[in-house]
A and B are shown apart, each in its own frame.
Chain A
Amino acid sequence: MLRNFQLTNRQSPITILLLILVSLAIPVTAFAQDADPTAPTDDEVNAIAKEMYCPVCENVPLDVCGTQACADWREEIRMKLAEGWSEDQIKQYFTDRFGDRVLAEPPRQGFNWLVYVVPPIAFLAGVIILIRGVQSWRRIEPVSVGDEPSPQAEEIPADDYVERFEEELRRREQ
């Protein structure tokens, strides 16, 4: 039996060459069948997933969430990409099914506007308050201890009550 498989001297170079070619061609063909060039890559899936959150794992972006629910969502994104859906269409699909809260950046509508409007307004208000505060501090004239009383201070009319109080003290001392 073994003899049948032994190569003759005449056949051997051609057969060996053919065998080498066939052995090289098989894995290349297999690889070509496995890898679909149109299939979405993990990076493409994660580029969309990182801008989304699933309701199950709050505050964990979809691209790094390790739960089965998030894995299912990523798989759905992959399927939609393979079907030729755009990023916006996929996000809209998830929003329709699970609400606005799946989006990392809420759509600019309704109460969501507060998220975009309040922080800059609060920042501007803070800057205005700071500027006015600095201006009011500058208006206060600095008075150092031991200085002669300023003419303005002398012009301040005396308080009747203080005057009467001092008069009473003087009378008692006498």
Chain B
Amino acid sequence: MSITIKNLVKAFDRSPVVKHFDEVFEDGEFITLLGPSGCGKTTILRMIAGFEQPTSGEIWIDDQLVSSEKTLVPPEKRGIGMVFQSYAVWPHMTVYDNVAYPLKIKHVDKDTIKQKVERMLKVVHLTNYATRLPSQLSGGQQQRVALARALVMEPKLLLLDEPLSNLDAKLRETMRFEIKDIAMQMKIGVVYVTHDQTEAMAMSDRIFLINNGVVQQSGTPEEIYNRPVNQFVADFLGKVQFFKGTAENGEVNLTKWHCKLDYPEMTYSGAVEVAIRPENISLSRHDHGYNGVIEKKYYLGDTTDLRIRVGEDLVRVIEDGFTYNRYDIGDSVHMKIHDFIVFEDAGDTDDQLRIRT
């Protein structure tokens, strides 16, 4: 099942929530709509599901027009499975009945229902809970019921609306991979909505980063992470620090650091903003680059998070865990910058043009 979305716009009472969306999701792709709260990602998802109607634009499933200003194929006719943020597991039915519901609607015979439901429960590891009521289940278990229910009718497409946001950290991680595995096993396309960028990066084939109703960038996790097209994207994914500077003749001058970065391919000259990810800075005692003084250090087990004082700035550096014991607070260190991204400094983060990276 492929989803084609053309010039999608959605406004509630004249204020636009989705300003423009024009994409194609291929069959079997794992797509994530990523962005901060209120950016419009849930609205797009609900339009794909059929719960909202576009103000203008079209949505096609395979070669059938399902949503437009004038048409709206109802959700029950789209053959799409959906998992809600609040799980929406029906409290008056047992786990078995919840999962069996979509099949019962289609008047599938009892035996087939039993077979399919049991299989699904196995997939989500809830076989022993078939007769329980949702009130007797934990959050994670309820979420898995919702998942099983959405999958039992073997849809071609699965929509998930922030399904893991109510779970604790460890469970979130486990479920993340489970969902991805199931999707791959069953060869189902997924459109996944979340504001957690780690989740997005771990699971997606492609990520659409949305802000204020407009897609900022779309691409594979690696693309978006390493080659953000503007400050918003750079900032949203991973950690990043911005420094002002000037560009001139293939060199970038970081104003406050009094350091120069070589950037031979750059043709632009003028004010720039340089984005540096903390993991792209390494420390050493030897004179590699620019120096500063360690002001704080935090031990995170697998990494060490440090703050280096350079003039007025406090630069963030992330090194491996062993680094923690190698340096003390107050030590003078040298930093080497391995990678950076340069943006034209036009003031407003949202409309930055990418230059080159």
The answer to whether A and B come from one shared complex is no
